[in-house]
Amino acid sequence: AAASGWHALGLALAERGAPGDRPEAIRCLDEALARDWRREGLLEAREALAPPTPATAAVRALLTASKQ
């Protein structure tokens, strides 16, 4: 439930957020991922807002590996 909530928040900001909201939201999500990379919903929200970075690609790889 929490993951889908974060993902929905990212999608809502991407679709309806003010242009100035995006950089701040991306920064906050990056900080949250740095503290708790296992929260896939945070990553999904981040991916909905901006293209992947090397750091987000690494988190995605870690999450994928942890599920195997």
Q: Would you list the domain boundaries of the chain?
A: 2-67
Task: Give the pLDDT confidence score for residue 62 in this predicted structure.
Answer: 92
> What phi and psi values does residue 28 have, to the nearest 5 degrees?
-65, -40
Task: Give the pLDDT confidence score for residue 1 in this predicted structure.
Answer: 43
Region 12-28 average pLDDT: 79
> What DSSP letter does each residue of 5-65 carry, written as one string?
HHHHHHHHHHHHS-TTHHHHHHHHHHHHHHH-TT-HHHHHHHHHHS---HHHHHHHHHHHH
Task: Give the pLDDT confidence score for residue 4 in this predicted structure.
Answer: 61
Work out the angle at residue 49's Cα, subtended by the Cα atoms of residues 43 and 52, and round it to the nearest 5 degrees: 60
Task: Give the pLDDT confidence score for residue 7 in this predicted structure.
Answer: 72
| Cβ atoms of 37 and 59 closer than 8 Å | yes
| Predicted confidence (pLDDT) per residue in 22-46, tens digit | 888 888 888 888 888 888 888 888 8
Region 7-17 average pLDDT: 76
In whole numbers, what is the pLDDT of the chain averaged over residues? 83
